Amino acid sequence: MIAAPDRTPLTRDFFDRPVLEVAPDLLGRVLVRNTPEGPIELRLTEVEAYDGPNDPGSHAYRSRTARNDVMFGPPGHAYVYFTYGMWHCLNLVCGQEGTASGVLLRAGEITKGADLTRKRRLSARNDKELAKGPARLATALDVDRALNGTDVCASPDSPLAILSGTPTPRDQVRNGPRTGVAGEGGVHPWRYWTVNDPTVSPYRPHAPRRRST
């Protein structure tokens, strides 16, 4: 008999810790996305930590701007950004206010509302690919900048929330370099994933863009 996942929302205190503590602790948690068409739920299998102003790979490395403002705010809120002219990525803010650290939610297993996600992820060849990668995850859950700043600890009925779920045991957590992170930031082994989970995205080193014109 397997215990049902805990549906209690994670507390603000959960996120009010150093980001390198929070990140591996997020694996196995349940992300809830309440849409007008119904709820979607996802069990997290892969995340990456971004350590604010100390981290060359972080959006908060240089300065506080309109885009990264939410990262400087209180923990337990969603930071959503737009990239490559077409994709969104979802992060959860960690550490005390002003720390500007966060965790990128990179992949997970859809555990509810798969039919809703398939309509948005037409290129997915199977259900393992529905949320395999940060932009795919955001697409599957219909997450865009309208959700930037959402408090994910507030209520399981809010547009975006995170529940305690069943934390992945530490002996099933692996870590290594972050995907697609350039320069000095690429050396930190701050990507965490669930071992042998088929929904985890493949590792890819940073690829410098080829010159145009």
In the complex with DNA, the residue whose CB is nearer, 1 or 84, is: 84
Closest approach of Cβ 173 to DNA, in Å?
19
In the complex with DNA, the residue whose CB is nearer, 67 or 156, is: 67
In the complex with DNA, the residue whose CB is nearer, 99 or 201, is: 201
Closest approach of Cβ 170 to DNA, in Å?
23
Closest approach of Cβ 4 to DNA, in Å?
29
Closest approach of Cβ 203 to DNA, in Å?
10
In the complex with DNA, the residue whose CB is nearer, 171 or 202, is: 202
Map the chain to HEC letters: CCCCCEEEECCHHHHCCCHHHHHHHCCCCEEEEEECCEEEEEEEEEEEEECHHHCCCCCCCCCCCCCCHHHHCCCCEEEEEEECCCEEEEEEEECCCCCCEEEEEEEEEEEECHHHHHHHCCCCCCHHHCCECHHHHHHHCCCCHHHCCCECCCCCCCCEEEEEECCCCHHHEEEECCCCCCHHHHHCCCEEEECCCCCCCCCCCCCCCCCCC
Q: Residues interacting with DNA, by CB under 7 A? A: 48, 50, 57-60, 62-63, 65-68, 71, 79, 82-87, 89, 91, 102, 104, 121, 123-124, 129, 133-137, 178-182, 201, 204, 207-211
